[in-house]
Structure 1
Amino acid sequence: MKWAWVTFDVCLAPAMLRLSRRHGQALSLVLAALVTCDAALTLAQALLFNLPRARGAFELAVVGVAVAAPAVAAVLLWSARMHRPERLVGA
C-alpha cells in the first residue's frame, strides 16, 4: 500500500507543477478529483488502520496532519477552479 501512495504522489507532483505554470480546465478538474479521492482514501485508511494502532498524542497528531493535508489541498484546488477569472478560462 505504501508504494501505491508513493507512486500516486510522484505522478501527482509534475501534474501540479504543470498546473501552476499553465492553467488548464481539464487538468485542474482531473487533479481536483484525484486529490479529493486521495483525501477520502486517506481518511478511510486513518480510521480503519492508523487510528486503532496509534499510541500517544504524537502519533495521533501525525495521523491528523496526514488526513488534513490532502483535504486542504482538495479544497484549495476546487476553490481555485470556482474562482478563476472568466477572462483567463481556457488560457
Structure 2
Amino acid sequence: MFRPDHERPTEENAPHEGTRDARAAQAAELARSTFYYQSKVLDGGERHEELKAKIKAVYERHKDRYGYRRIAESIRLADQRVTRKTVRRLMV
C-alpha cells in the first residue's frame, strides 16, 4: 500500500532509469524485462547443438527414410534421453 511519506517513482526518480541497460531498452522501445530476456537468450548460444548433429547423422545414415519418431528411438537406444517432441522441433 502507498504510504504518504514515501514518494512514488516517476520518470525522473525511477530506480533503474539511469542505467545503461534501461536507456538501451527505452531506446529500443522494449519493456525492461523483455530487454533482459532477449539479451539472455542471445548470449546463451545453441543449447542442442550436439543433439542436432546426432539427429542429422541418424537421418543421413538411414538415407532420409527415418522420421522424427524413429530418429528419437534410435538416439534413445544409444543411451541418451530425448523426447519425440524435441527431435521433431529440432528437425524443422
| Length-normalised TM-score, structure 1 | 0.26
Bigger relative contact order (CA 8 A; separation at least 6): 1
- Structure of larger gyration radius: 2
Structure number having the greater helix percentage: 1
